Amino acid sequence: MLRLKPGQDVDAATASLRGLQPQIREVTMPQDWAEQYKKTYLQDAFSLVPAATGSSGLRRRYQQPLTAIMVVVALVLLIACANIANLLLARANARRHELSVRVALGASKLRIARQLLTESLLLSGTGALIGLLFARWGSDLLVRQLSTTTNTVFLGLGLDWRTLGFTALVAVTTAVLFGVAPALRATRVQPNEALKERGRGVAGERFGLGNLLAVVQVALSVILVVAAGLFVRTFSSLANVHLGFDHRPVLVANVSAQRLQLDAKQRPELFERLRQAAANVPGVSTAAISAVTPVSGSTWNNVIEIPGAPAAPDRER
């Protein structure tokens, strides 16, 4: 972690750091590494990045999945808005008698439109409030699903002013966009509608906009169903990929000796005794110890060399 001098930018600091890179790399390079790893370590260039959001690989790891989830959420929101807009159109048509009475009594078209927009805003605000409560519970559940016994994910997903502001903006935008059409249609009512029989013509009237919204709903729903099927198929394929070994009878136990009053040179003997004790347990065929568990996702064990097997290809290939 570096703090830049006043007036110095990231590019200038990176150039200065790379000037000292050969000395830094030479001093910090482990001497027991293979020559190919030493060469890669010495040539790997330093790069400085802003630390305002901390140092974490979670952004790179979950950026694409979260983007896909956001797209799905946006499609679901559009489907819900189209559905609500269609219902508001039908509701405004059913209230033509009531609205015509209001117009006959002197209510302006602006007042009627404002009333219907207020109802749309109230409906959207209620949905946004329920969504915030669900998101507060669902975010904690999502973090627990991402965490494992060996890799705990720490994410602060609490509600702040940015989350509340974004939710309020979406609520107002959806209320205005999908509440304007029903409100404008309701303002076309004439005062003489009050003299007609209530409900006449309501069932047989068709709206071109309502049909368009229904088509949009069906199209977006088909897209979501297809995407969900592809996601499920991909997940099923990944869950059934053959790993090259039978993992079902394998158990992994993590042991730490840092709290024991033992010298570092005595710890290998302790672990060896633990390995022998585990191997003597009835039902256990073999037992082994490792500093880094193979196939655990660690970047330190990308390649596993097996005695007698063909040599692993170079990592640069």
Tell me whether residue 11 is in a domain: yes
pLDDT of residue 136: 84
Pair (148, 167) in one structural domain: yes
Whether the pLDDT of residue 280 is over 90: the answer is: yes
pLDDT of residue 103: 75
Pair (196, 260) in one structural domain: no
What is the rounded distance in angstroms from the CA atom of residue 216 to the CA atom of residue 86? 11
Q: What is the mean pLDDT of residues 64-92?
A: 84
Pair (107, 212) in one structural domain: yes
Tell me whether residue 302 is in a domain: no
Pair (84, 129) in one structural domain: yes
Whether the pLDDT of residue 317 is over 50: the answer is: no
What percent of the chain has a predicted confidence (pLDDT) above 70?
85
Pair (91, 181) in one structural domain: yes
pLDDT of residue 202: 43
Q: How many domains does the chain have?
A: 3
Sign of the Cα torsion 229, 230, 236, 239 reads negative
Find the largest Cα–Cα distance for the chain.
99
Pair (6, 114) in one structural domain: no
Domain final residue pick, 205, 239, 273: 239
Q: What is the mean pLDDT of residues 224-251?
A: 83
Pair (228, 112) in one structural domain: yes
Tell me whether residue 104 is in a domain: yes
Tell me whether residue 299 is in a domain: no
Residue at 227: amino acid letter: A
pLDDT of residue 315: 45
Tell me whether residue 298 is in a domain: no
pLDDT tens digits, one per residue of 17-53: 888 888 888 888 887 778 888 888 888 888 888 887 7
Containing structural domain, residue 2:
1-55
Tell me whether residue 297 is in a domain: no
What is the rounded distance in angstroms from the CA atom of residue 74 to the CA atom of residue 230? 18
Instruction: Please state, rounded to an integer, the average pLDDT across all residues of the chain.
Output: 79
> Pick the residue with more confidence: 187 or 304?
187
pLDDT tens digits, one per residue of 159-204: 788 888 888 888 888 888 877 777 777 677 666 655 565 544 444 3
Pair (176, 107) in one structural domain: yes
Say if CB 116 and CB 186 are below 8 A apart. yes
Tell me whether residue 76 is in a domain: yes
Angle at the Cα of 164 (from 112 to 122), degrees rounded to 5?
20
Whether the pLDDT of residue 254 is over 60: the answer is: yes
Among 4-18, 84-98, 297-311, the range of highest mean pLDDT: 4-18
pLDDT of residue 192: 66
Pair (22, 117) in one structural domain: no
Pair (226, 118) in one structural domain: yes
Among 36-45, 105-114, 275-284, the range of highest mean pLDDT: 275-284
Domain final residue pick, 36, 55, 74: 55
Pair (50, 77) in one structural domain: no
What is the rounded distance in angstroms from the CA atom of residue 255 to the CA atom of residue 39? 34
Q: What is the token pair recorded at 273?
A: 């005794």
Tell me whether residue 307 is in a domain: no
pLDDT band at 269 (very low <50, low <70, confident <90, very high): confident
What is the rounded distance in angstroms from the CA atom of residue 306 to the CA atom of residue 4? 47
Whether the pLDDT of residue 277 is over 90: the answer is: yes
Whether the pLDDT of residue 307 is over 90: the answer is: no
φ/ψ of 61, rounded to 5, equals -75, -40
What is the rounded distance in angstroms from the CA atom of residue 224 to the CA atom of residue 78? 11
What is the rounded distance in angstroms from the CA atom of residue 125 to the CA atom of residue 119? 10
Q: What is the mean pLDDT of residues 265-293?
A: 88
> Pick the residue with more confidence: 200 or 230?
230
34 to each of 26, 67, 111, 226, 293, how far by Cα in Å?
A: 14, 40, 80, 49, 20
Q: What is the mean pLDDT of residues 239-259?
A: 80
What is the rounded distance in angstroms from the CA atom of residue 141 to the CA atom of residue 143? 6
pLDDT of residue 189: 66
Say if CB 194 and CB 100 are below 8 A apart. yes
Pair (167, 47) in one structural domain: no
